[in-house]
Amino acid sequence: MLSPSYWNDRAEPVSVGGRGGAWFVDADQGGMVLRMYRRGGVAARLSESRYLFTGWHRTRSYREFQVLSQLYQIGLPVPEPVAASACQSGLFYQAAILIRRIPDAVPLPEACELSKEAIWWEVGRTIRRFHDAGLDHVDLNCDNILVANGLVYVIDFDRCLFRKPGVEKRWTKRNLSRLYRSIEKRIDTVDITKPWQSLLAGYSKVAQS
């Protein structure tokens, strides 16, 4: 079930973001997204998809599933987690996670509302909600922010973790800095100066409301 080959032609590769390890799945229960865990950078030269196995509860898929489940249960805008797997072979394992697909969602760079202040304000407000819950998103880039019918969602919580909530923390600033660099790199259709100001205004507004 947690393999593209299981779904045959009902699985379609996702062409945007990530490392080429995600598929849209047309399941009987509705649209799903299947993601296989893959390495990046220098580590990928040694093994693209295998990780050292030190126990099920330490696998990437289990940890992400737990984080995602907690976020979903407290009502934050994330996809519903469906299943996770880790297949051990000797000292190593390969992992996958299956989540429910958010209808009509597109990555932030593809959103048609980019020229509107409101969507950037909403992105900032949404990020602040996650930070107030203590979520440190270690890969907060614009492709991990989805927009669907004016609503904003956050995805991909691999290696993310919960920390002590609060703004003006080093980790919250690190998240925002990473996002800014991503927007600067990926979105060239608009001058990001004013959109970024709107994002920060939405981020700050949560504390005042």
138: CATH:
1.10.510.10
Q: What is the DSSP letter of 42?
A: T
Point out the domain boundary residue: 100, 123, 149. Answer: 100
Asked if pLDDT for residue 44 goes beyond 70, the answer is no
Point out the domain boundary residue: 48, 83, 100. Answer: 100
Amino acid occupying residue 16: V
User: Mean pLDDT, to the nearest integer, of 80-92?
Assistant: 96
Handedness of CA 110, 111, 112, 116 (dihedral sign): negative
Residues 6+ apart with CB under 8 A from 90: none
Q: What is the pLDDT of residue 40?
A: 64
CATH number at residue 92: 3.30.200
Catalytic residue numbers? 139
Asked if pLDDT for residue 46 goes beyond 70, the answer is no
pLDDT digits (tens, 9 = 90+) for 117-173: 999 999 999 999 999 999 999 999 999 999 999 999 999 999 999 998 766 789 999
Domain check: are 83 and 26 in the same one? yes
Q: What is the overall mean pLDDT for the chain?
A: 91
The total number of structural domains that make up the chain: 2
Residue scoring higher pLDDT (70 or 14): 70
Q: Of 47-56, 112-121, 198-207, where does the model show the most confidence? A: 112-121
User: Mean pLDDT, to the nearest integer, of 52-59?
Assistant: 96
Point out the domain boundary residue: 100, 121, 143. Answer: 100
What is the Cα–Cα distance from 85 to 78, expressed in whole angstroms? 20
User: Mean pLDDT, to the nearest integer, of 60-88?
Assistant: 98
pLDDT bin (cut points 50, 70, 90) of residue 209 is very low
Range of the domain at 73: 4-100
What is the Cα–Cα distance from 206 to 208, expressed in whole angstroms? 5
Domain check: are 140 and 200 in the same one? yes
pLDDT digits (tens, 9 = 90+) for 172-202: 999 999 999 999 999 988 899 999 999 999 9
